[in-house]
Structure 1
Amino acid sequence: MTERTLILDPDRIQRMLERMAWQIVERHAHEEEVILVGISKSGFRLAERLHDRLQGIFSGRVTLAEISVNKREPAAGPTECALTPAQFQEQNIVVIDDVLNTGATLMYAVHYFLQAPIKRLSTAVLIDRNFKQFPIKADIKGMSLSTSLHDRVEVDLDGTEAVYLV
């Protein structure tokens, strides 16, 4: 059986999500709308949680969308999103994922939004592992976590709401 070490419990996750929501508000305080785009599956669940929090604290409209990227081979595509370029043109976009590891998935998700002129694009992750192989960073992050290359981070937002190091 694989040994799992608890990194974040439900209370800490809730506090991090609250802080991340406020950071999104601060970055977009004078905007009428922000679009949260979660990377399937866990990134979208994280985006849903942030969307719920923003409803009560952001004065503008918050739109939620999902983007699918092949996480094993992002370059193999296809990258699919519920939003068309016309829908995100001149908008403020936050691309959200659960864990930033090499940066490949986040990079290909961000690339999708370069099809049209946008106002601002930022990235948000719950866990930043600092093993980037691509020139991308998390503008908003819940936690930076230094691990070995052999470690894996598991984010459970469906059941117990926990983050484990495996």
Structure 2
Amino acid sequence: MARNYILDKDSVARKLQRIAYEIIENNIDEKQIILAGIRENGSVIARNIEKLLCSIKSDIVIWNIDIALDKKSPHDIKLSGETDFTDKVIIVVDDVANSGRTMLYAIKPFLAYLPKKIQTLALVERTHKAYPVKTDYVGLSVNTTLQEHIFVEVEGDVVTGAYLE
């Protein structure tokens, strides 16, 4: 069966480049940004964004951490790096924003601190939000039916595409 691609490798690269510039514009005076990628694909996207941010603005310090959680039952959340997140800018990164539930749970560990900002980033955003999470940085927003699913393909540290099924 042929896949219905909504993003290819080149369009993903352009979307991530645009998002990186948006992040810089919205955080121009910040000295440090923490990218918190939701494993697995969100972590790959976060690493790509880190490279782009460093190439755009070399004096900004980017700290990249992973968020591990079971998306079906997201009660146990683990961070790959622990620090004091007080007064820090945190961007939670995922591949697809569906209902907003995963993003909402992923934010939970940071709420024990007083971060300066918590922002969200998704390569693809669906329009079916059941939870009050606004995606701050979006590569592509797609209207889908509830029966359709979006899959993001990753090979190593490269996002190769996204398709609708």
The two structures share one fold, judged by TM-score above 0.5: yes
Choose between structure 1 and 2: higher strand proportion.
2
Taking the aligned partners of 2:36 and 2:8, their CA distance within structure 1 comes to 25
Q: May I ask how many residue pairs the two structures share in their alignment?
A: 162
Taking the aligned partners of 2:144 and 2:37, their CA distance within structure 1 comes to 24
Partner SS for 1:89: coil
The aligned residue for residue 107 of structure 2 is: 110
Taking the aligned partners of 1:82 and 1:126, their CA distance within structure 2 comes to 22
Q: Partner letter of residue 88 of structure 1?
A: F
2:112 is the alignment partner of 1:130: no
2:64 is the alignment partner of 1:64: yes
- CA displacement at 1:137 relative to structure 2: 1.1
- CA displacement at 1:132 relative to structure 2: 1.0
Q: TM-score with structure 1 length normalisation?
A: 0.93
Runs of 4+ in structure 1 off by over 6 angstroms are: none
Partner SS for 1:118: coil
The aligned residue for residue 98 of structure 2 is: 101
2:80 is the alignment partner of 1:79: no
State the Cα RMSD in Å: 1.3
Taking the aligned partners of 2:77 and 2:16, their CA distance within structure 1 comes to 26
- CA displacement at 1:94 relative to structure 2: 0.4
Choose between structure 1 and 2: higher helix proportion.
1
Taking the aligned partners of 2:21 and 2:123, their CA distance within structure 1 comes to 14
Partner SS for 1:161: strand
Q: TM-score with structure 2 length normalisation?
A: 0.93
Identity %: 33
- CA displacement at 1:82 relative to structure 2: 1.9
- CA displacement at 1:157 relative to structure 2: 2.1
